[in-house]
């Protein structure tokens, strides 16, 4: 997609009228650019939270379908939106974001985020305080608007990638919206995000596709193969049913991290082959047990903390401090339940207030102090 949202509207929907720009009954207004599976799910989640949602899509009829299915309120652009979510293919995101932020007809307080699967190259192309890069770690084997759900992001991790230029208020606004979806918001440096998602998203998808393609080839010679596919095979290859069209861009954009991870996987599979070929039962059992423990632990990490604490961090008015604090929390595995930036009436200091699990708050405070921040933790409900 290389057109602006307004141009997309002209080619695929009736567009916004002057009356549209002022109506809304006091509701917060959002624009979703790209109304496929993720974009339509964002629209549904926003509408459930009370937002008035407009949507555009370059493909004729897609936004109209999203409107019929209740994913958006209006098929067309909305220059009066205060939030825009760009859900186009990866290669088109930077151009759409720049057009939104540089359009003088839009509100000066418009904040833009995206849902792209790679972040490093994007944030280099879009260097703007009111852009907050994002990536929901959620999806479906279903394709398009028909698979959209308002609860798609409940319990899912949603990565935000603040940079040195990110406006803390813009970050806080986007974060609050996503937390309202029920997502677990995590802040990561863009390049760190790309390296990690290569391991947990990109290579798993390519592996599932390779295995499914292998099985399909065998099935051409042995018709009984696929009917034998049980739960394990279906679970492992489920993601291969996702939209194929988004993956060439992702692989091109994140090639170094994906190739490095594929190399590691090939090495691990070669070691597994050796264990099987040589009948090395002890080594085989060791790696299977280690993987079993790690997989069970993965399902336990979403536990709700019994007690929360506020971590208060006085921060100077300088670029990058928000990214520094929030990405440090992610590196320590500390989930930020809520975030607020309180500006000081006088001087150049503010206070960043992070609500986190009380059990890990001391660890975060210690790390922040080690970085030169005068951080403190106060249990919620203590009255302090």
Assign 44 to helix, strand or coil: helix
CA distance 202 to 254: 9
For the ranges 33-42, 83-92, 128-137, 223-232, the lowest mean pLDDT is seen at: 223-232
Q: Which CATH architecture has domain 308-379?
A: 2-Layer Sandwich (3.30)
Residue intervals of the chain classified under CATH 1.10.3660.10 are 205-300
Give the residue among 93, 87, 172, 168 at the shortest CA–CA distance from 125. 93
Calculate the alpha carbon distances from 128 to 210, 326, 341 in Å: 39, 18, 19
Pure H helices in the chain: 5-12, 37-48, 62-68, 90-102, 120-125, 168-180, 190-197, 203-221, 231-237, 247-253, 255-278, 281-300, 321-331, 361-370
Q: Which two tokens stand for residue 368?
A: 């922040």
Within 8 A by CB and 6+ apart from 339, the residues are 171, 172, 175, 176, 326, 352, 353, 354, 355
At the topology level, CATH places domain 205-300 in 6-phosphogluconate dehydrogenase C-terminal fold (1.10.3660)
- Average pLDDT value for residue range 337-364: 79
What pLDDT digit, counting tens, does each position of 129-154 carry? 999 999 999 877 677 898 899 999 99
Q: How far is CA 303 from the centre of its chain?
A: 20
The DSSP string of 316-330 is ES-TTHHHHHHHHHH
CA distance 339 to 160: 13
Residue intervals of the chain classified under CATH 3.40.50.720 are 5-188
What pLDDT digit, counting tens, does each position of 299-346 carry? 644 445 558 888 998 887 677 888 889 999 988 988 888 888 776 544
Give the residue among 9, 129, 117, 106 at the shortest CA–CA distance from 63. 9
The DSSP string of 319-372 is TTHHHHHHHHHHHTT--EEEEEEEEPSSSSEEEEEEEEETTTHHHHHHHHHHTT
Residue intervals of the chain classified under CATH 3.30.2130.10 are 308-379
pLDDT at 344: 55
For the ranges 22-26, 174-178, 213-217, the lowest mean pLDDT is seen at: 22-26
Q: Which two tokens stand for residue 356?
A: 């986190």
Q: Which two tokens stand for residue 50?
A: 């009370």
What pLDDT digit, counting tens, does each position of 261-290 carry? 999 999 999 999 999 999 999 999 999 999
Q: Which CATH architecture has domain 5-188?
A: 3-Layer(aba) Sandwich (3.40)
CA distance 132 to 93: 12
CA distance 68 to 58: 17
Give the residue among 78, 69, 70 at the shortest CA–CA distance from 14. 78
CB 121 within 8 A of CB 253: yes
Which residue would you say has higher pLDDT here, 103 or 350? 103
Give the residue among 187, 189, 32, 174 at the shortest CA–CA distance from 111. 174
């Amino acid at each position: 997609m290389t057109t602006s949202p307004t141009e997309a509207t002209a080619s695929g929907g009736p567009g916004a009228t002057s009356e549209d720009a002022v109506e809304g009954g006091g509701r917060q207004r959002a624009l979703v650019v790209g109304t496929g599976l993720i974009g339509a799910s964002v629209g549904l989640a926003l509408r459930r939270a009370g937002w008035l949602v407009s949507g555009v899509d370059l493909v004729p009829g897609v936004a109209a379908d999203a409107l019929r299915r209740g994913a958006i309120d209006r098929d067309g652009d909305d220059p009066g939106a205060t939030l825009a979510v760009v859900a186009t293919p990866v290669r088109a995101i930077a151009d759409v974001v720049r057009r939104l932020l540089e359009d003088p007809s839009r509100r000066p307080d418009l904040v833009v985020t995206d849902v792209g699967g790679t972040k490093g190259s994007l944030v280099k192309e879009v260097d703007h305080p009111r852009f907050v890069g994002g990536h929901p770690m959620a999806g479906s084997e279903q394709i398009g608007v028909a698979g959209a759900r308002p609860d798609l992001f409940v319990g899912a991790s949603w990565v935000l990638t603040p940079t040195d230029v990110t406006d803390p208020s813009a970050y806080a606004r986007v974060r609050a919206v996503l937390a309202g979806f029920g997502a677990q918001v995590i802040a990561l440096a863009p390049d760190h995000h790309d390296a990690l998602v290569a391991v947990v998203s990109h290579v798993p998808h390519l592996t599932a596709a390779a295995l499914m393609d292998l099985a399909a080839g065998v099935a051409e010679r042995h018709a009984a193969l696929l009917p034998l596919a049980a739960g394990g095979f279906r679970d492992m290859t489920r993601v291969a049913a996702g939209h194929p069209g988004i993956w060439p861009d992702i692989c091109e954009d994140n090639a170094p991290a994906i190739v490095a991870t594929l190399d590691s996987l090939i090495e691990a599979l070669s070691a597994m082959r050796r264990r099987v070929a040589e009948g090395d039962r002890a080594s085989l059992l060791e790696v299977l047990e280690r993987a079993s423990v790690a997989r069970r632990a993965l399902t336990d990490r979403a536990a709700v903390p019994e007690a929360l604490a506020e971590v208060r961090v006085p921060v100077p008015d300088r670029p990058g401090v928000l990214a520094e604090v929030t990405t440090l929390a992610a590196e320590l595995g500390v989930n930020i339940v809520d975030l607020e930036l309180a500006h000081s009436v006088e001087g150049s200091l503010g206070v960043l207030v992070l609500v986190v699990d009380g059990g890990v708050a001391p660890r975060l405070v210690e790390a922040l102090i080690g970085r030169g921040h005068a951080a403190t933790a106060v249990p919620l409900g203590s009255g302090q």
